Amino acid sequence: MSDITETDTTWLSDEDLAVVRGRVPMVYVDVVPVRVDTLGEVTHVGLLLRAMADGTVSRALVTGRVLWGERIRQALLRHIEKDLGPLALPRLPPDPAPFTVAEYFPDPGVSGFHDPRQHAVSLAYVVPMDGECEPSHDALDLAWVTPAEAVSTEVRSEMTGGHDRLLRLALAHVGRIP
């Protein structure tokens, strides 16, 4: 029996979510948080440390599901605040456009993007942050690295699920691939 006082109709129970994930691609957003200089050039990339769906502890990007009835802009702001805190001050345009679309599959060999739980289609964005970012929610740490450090073998080896590929695509999109 459902609780009649429950007002959040956008969230699925764990059981319902498992059924949907098994039958329907889920819509996600991925965010590459960046710091920019006065000319708008990317100087640093923010990488979270978190427990991932595949059971590893990895460096990762800000990511999360788009809820039923939620605009993409709202989902971006919600996930940025959840992972980087309320003082991150993201600089989102009024109508954000993704730099790419990543398709995550339970089979890691399909696309290079892997999520063992589901097939997910993720809209990916590079978002400048103007405020103080602090890891929050389930993020364990936040490190700001230069673009050169971000594509280093050491940092890439700490990333799973294809986030290293997505990070390189983001840096190429903003003209900062070393």
CA distance 137 to 81: 9
Model confidence band, residue 54 (pLDDT cutoffs 50, 70, 90): low
The Cα–Cα gap between 10 and 108 comes to 29
Whether 152 has a pLDDT exceeding 50, the answer reads yes
Query: What values do phi and psi take at 61, rounded to 5?
Result: -95, 170
Tell me, what's the pLDDT at 55? 73
Q: Where is pLDDT greater, at 22 or 62?
A: 62
- DSSP state at residue 129: B
**C-alpha distances in angstroms, 2 versus 5, 11, 13?**
9, 13, 11
Predicted pLDDT at 104: 96
If pLDDT is split at 50, 70 and 90, which confidence band does 6 have?
Answer: very low
Q: What mean pLDDT comes out for the span 18-22?
A: 81
| pLDDT digits 0-9 by tens, 88-122 | 999 999 889 999 999 999 999 999 999 988 999 99
| CATH number assigned to the domain with residue range 25-173, chosen from the 4 options 3.90.79.10, 3.40.50.300, 3.40.50.970, 3.30.420.40 | 3.90.79.10
Cβ neighbourhood burial of 16 (10 Å; 0-12, 13-18, 19+): exposed
Q: How confident is residue 9, by pLDDT bands cut at 50, 70 and 90?
A: low
Q: The whole model's pTM is what? A: 0.87
- In the chain, which ranges are continuous DSSP H helix? 14-21, 72-84, 147-150, 153-157, 163-173
| 167, pLDDT greater than 50 | yes
Whether 51 shows a pLDDT value over 90: the answer reads no
Percent of residues, the chain, with pLDDT higher than 90: 72
**What integer is the mean pLDDT of 43-57?**
86
Instruction: In whole angstroms, give the CA distance from residue 70 to residue 73.
Output: 8
